[in-house]
Structure 1
């Protein structure tokens, strides 16, 4: 069975028994299987689990990095026979991920905390831990591929497109990519579960974690609980300027939303803009949500060649489940914005979401939609 899961050596110049690796173990089937696979291949495996929040603070079933998941990760390591450590990162996670999520939502954006978590807590802080342990690499169970070409580490989408996580990892830096490894990127999820069964892992059929780990209910109710002052009443305004009603807080609305607006109209209305400064929700017809131009902030470019002045033809994903749109991306200007022109109009481009650029299956980079 294990022969079906041949992987490239994690380091080209080191045999497994001489290679020390830290595996980020969330307690789920993917990272657990990756750790045990590498342990069985002879690597010096050290499992590390980050405790990111108190489990009693999250009522969401299937959330990761707390409570049962920590126990599951520790049990896998003990059974396989490699060391495992639990690190308390609650304070850092609160500041870097939860507080950032709340701040962006109250600005009228739709943030992606999973990206921020990977960008900071996992690939910045945990990477430092791995280096302090004198590890040769940090391994995760993400479905994404790292391929070296001409001495350059490049990022590619996972082969299992139904599980591909490249959209959430666009913020991985070139420096981080040199140290990171993703051994599951070339496999399909069903095969990984089969391997977990082969290793007799009790979590082999454990459900995947769903949605945002620290959100117990709806996003708005979670934010209202964590930051009550965010519930500021305001107007619901038609794009023509007519006041149609009132709301109890902009955190209850997202771009493209149609249901639950709390107003009556003879035509279908959607949220087309959220004006956080004036606490107004702007609504209009569906055509007001069709756009072919957007701006991106904090662009992380992973290709060694910069974007040419005349722009570059790419495919972009504007949501995690977006199949992709043809576009041209232009160099970042002096104000820090990167312009993206889509070949065709797209419905409901949401500030705060990510715009990730691809060349075929390769991830060229990405940033947050302004």
Structure 2
């Protein structure tokens, strides 16, 4: 009897090719389109409707059944509310990480198991390997597309039931398979941005849900007002573009280096190498481990503090309150509270924590991150 795989289909080429690979491997494949958000873009078009049509076309081409499951309430309660709350705290969250933790590998998994699925599958560039009864999350073969950063908070229950059919492939090979099978999505461009924002203006989107309050922009070197900001949640640590300071000082670019929520102040510094941009360590809260068990501390490993970043050697210590202290071998630029610190042992993704605060290179800038 064939093993049943419930495949999350987004209407993109990656999940479409995943369906091809699973079917060729002899699985009983059922396609599921997850409806997590319902809103039209500026042209009055609901992109979810378009994506579902692409799922329908590909499923019909391959002769597999397909269904839609509505997770809008779960998404709002578990992901979008978290997203808004983090911005209200002055932090910059990563909702895609939470979507995987709470929806794709939690609510979706529970739904699939009710359909008597043996496995779930996703079109992520990642791999799962079983070793002595434990399931390890490994980087995808295509280093440029590896998505373990976004999967770093899922544990053994999900990993033991998850297949990543394209994890062993380069993106070019995925496109090649799609064209060979004449899939409708073969030439469809990759989606960008957060799923509920997509290609729209990010600041305008936030203004629909959060109260924007203008305030002073302060030069960290002089302590004096240099300009006005348009609401603290519109800015993130390390940001260069969109600050609105030109022709001031040395002519070098300005960067966001801190926020004061109580006084509604935004701190900025001039110069690519300004020391206020750099930190030596961070405190990470809510650590989650892919093996469902803590590693041995102190832990020497590598870390990423944003998706496209190169691995950074670090040492991780456990704190008495359950948080972790991640100390970098060398100072790192623009580490951002609210983002995710993901830990690796070579190709193995160990887990992650949410960046709570950072320790500046120079202690005189501690006021920029008062929670450290």
| TM-score, normalization by structure 2 | 0.88
Matched, 1:320 2:307: yes
Question: 2:78 aligns to what?
Answer: 96
Alpha-carbon displacement from aligned partner over 1:340-365 (angstroms, at most 9, x marks no partner)? 00001111110111111111111011
Distance 1:350 1:40, change over 3 A: same
Separation of aligned partners in 2, 1:262 and 1:191: 43
Question: 1:235 aligns to what?
Answer: 216
Separation of aligned partners in 2, 1:114 and 1:305: 23
Root-mean-square deviation (Å): 2.1
Report deviation, 1:237: 2.1
2:141 pairs with one of 146, 155, 159? 159
Deviates most, 47-56 or 90-99: 90-99
Question: 2:277 aligns to what?
Answer: 289
Matched, 1:133 2:133: no
Alpha-carbon displacement from aligned partner over 1:299-325 (angstroms, at most 9, x marks no partner)? 11124663334x111010111010111
Separation of aligned partners in 2, 1:90 and 1:258: 34
Matched, 1:266 2:228: no
Whether contact under 8 Å (1:146, 1:156) holds in the other structure is yes
Question: 1:214 aligns to what?
Answer: 196
SS at match of 2:160: helix
SS at match of 1:299: strand
Alpha-carbon displacement from aligned partner over 1:265-314 (angstroms, at most 9, x marks no partner)? 414432111222332212234211111111111111124663334x1110
* Structure 1 gaps, min length 5: 1-16
Report deviation, 1:263: 4.3
Distance 1:308 1:289, change over 3 A: same
Question: 2:232 aligns to what?
Answer: 250
2:316 pairs with one of 329, 336, 339? 329
Residues 353-364 of structure 1: pairs in structure 2 closer than 5 A: 353-364=339-350
Report deviation, 1:162: 1.1
Distance 1:338 1:90, change over 3 A: same
Report deviation, 1:93: 2.0
SS at match of 2:19: helix
Alpha-carbon displacement from aligned partner over 1:231-250 (angstroms, at most 9, x marks no partner)? 01222223353233332211
| TM-score, normalization by structure 1 | 0.88
